[in-house]
Amino acid sequence: MTAPAPAPAPGPAPTPDSAPPAQPGTKALIALILAVLSYSLVQTMLVPTLGILQAELHTSAAGASWAVLSSTLLASAVLTPLISRLGDSHGKRRVLLITLALHLLGNLGACAAWNVGSLIAFRALQGVSLALLPLSLGLIREALPPHRVAFGLGLTSGLVGGAAGAGLLVGGLIVDHASWRWLFVAGSALVLLALAAVARYVPESRSTAPAPLDPAGAALLGLALVCLLLGLTQGPAWGWTSGRVGALAGGFVLCSAAFLWWEHRVPHPLIDPALLLGRPMAGAHVGAFLLGATQFVFYVLVPKLAELPAGLPARAARLVDYGFGASVTVAGLILIPGTLLGLPASSAVGRVEGRLGPRAPLALGLAVSAAGGAVTALFHAREWQAVLGYAVIGTGFGFAMAALPKLIHDVAPPHAIATANGINTVARTVGGAVGSQLAAAVLASRTITGTALPAGSGFTLAFWIATGIAAAGAVYALTGGRAPGERKSSREFTGSRKVSTGREMKEKEKEEEMS
């Protein structure tokens, strides 16, 4: 009789405190979140410096505004579609690393800026940082397993909205206790950390579609966006009915029409028109625009309301019977509960979509923001009322911000995911520019008699307008065209122009099979 084989030696018993293995792609997700935060935090950190920069750099209010907001806004809107397209063509990780390096260079230069002109130039260079969002969202789709993509998209997008309040708080703390230059030191440290993490943990893109650049399309799109955003940012100073604003509006219409005409005819367009005007994609872009407009009304007005009448001369302060007299830091703290509540809301988008359908998360987010806006419009006489109202608003923002990249993920082909997200990001940015100017225009139209100080009714009216925009967006998300989750066939995206050779046709078919 054969002797039984000896049993294998038992392995070492697991220790009770041994950590479970990390989820696949977790390190890559953390690296991409750092990249997105290096953009979103730096933008709002600078808002408290407007008055300080005007005094220290001996410039006008307009010059300080260009250094803090306008230069970055214009550069980011023009560069983001181009950088996103380069990511889809030549590898999103590679382009992400280059973009982070340029962002770091802009931060270091701004830290050492010697006058307002140099600061505006370095802030314009930092405009490349807006492209970090679409590039990172595109890489999440590839770095995470399919069952974690919705979570990763939701968390990353939610952090973009959440970082706005945190940035104001951090910026206020630094400005209250140190030089404004330390804002760029802190920003540089965060960008450097993100650069190292992306280089170490994020894999290179699998889905690319190499194609030559479309310089004419990029120039036409850039001119259209410059005309639009320059008109919006300079409208209050020049006058909305001035000839210069009218000329810019006409330039925007002409350049946009020329851009669309060209993109329908060029063999390798900068942006496939289906990614811009296709019915489900256009719905996501309209939602992004309305969300951006709503967000920036509250981003501008809630801190402004909290700070009044602080900083006003004694005689003027006696005329203001509203506001909390808060510092910049305290004004940022008012936004923090809404910021924190938006994060779990953003991570729940996948579950809401699974139960209620693909349109539900965006509609729900905008509806919740509209409810919070109504509460704020009715009750904003005390600090706790502003905190409560913005807590509801911020929760809605978390849902809506996370819903947008999920809609793009559902309808865009893999080889164009960064481009589609880039267009969506620019749409939200343009909406933000409209929202901020709308808030300023409403306050300017409602002033205390005999002064330029905003009246309390101006805040109430602006809050109601933002509430109406969010409510209209919620209705549009539910009723506007085909459900975003109904994926367009690849033919609708790649068939808008004839494929000229059999080789190109085979490449397209191969891409469709991979997707």
pLDDT at 368: 94
- Per-residue DSSP letter, 130: G
**Prior bond to 210 cis, omega within 30?**
no
Q: Which residues contact 488 (CB under 8 A, 6 or more apart)?
A: 274, 278, 280, 281, 411
Instruction: Round to whole Å and give the CA distance between 160 and 408.
Output: 17
Quote the pLDDT of residue 190: 92
For 18-64, the pLDDT digits (tens) are 444 456 578 889 999 999 888 888 777 877 777 778 788 888 777 77
What is the model's pLDDT at position 198? 93
User: What is the rounded CA–CA span in Å between residue 394 and residue 401?
Assistant: 10
Task: Identify the pLDDT of residue 486.
Answer: 46
Tokens for 248, please give them. 């810019």
pLDDT at 4: 54
DSSP labels, 380-420: -SSHHHHHHHHHHHHHHHHHHHHHHHHHHHHHS-GGGHHHH
User: Coil, strand or helix: which one is 447?
Assistant: strand
User: Looking at residue 191, what is its pLDDT?
Assistant: 93
Report the pLDDT value the prediction gives residue 24, as an integer from 0 to 100: 57
Which residues fall within 8 angstroms of residue 9, CB to CB, at 6 or more apart?
Answer: none
CA dist 166 and 40 (Å) reads 10
8 Å CB contact between 470 and 367: yes
b/e burial code for range 479-489 (CB count within 10 A of at least 16 → b)? ebeebbbebbe
Provide CB contacts within 8 A for 258, sequence distance 6+.
220
Contact between 109 and 404 (Cβ < 8 Å):
no
The pLDDT assigned to 377 comes to: 94
- How many C-beta neighbours within 10 Å does residue 405 have? 33
Q: Which residues of the chain have pLDDT under 70?
A: 1-24, 162, 164-165, 206-211, 310-311, 315-317, 480-515
Provide the pLDDT for residue 225.
87
Model pLDDT, residue 239: 83
Q: At what angle do helices 456-479 and 279-307 cross, to 10 degrees?
A: 160
User: Do 314 and 303 form a contact (C-beta atoms < 8 A)?
Assistant: no
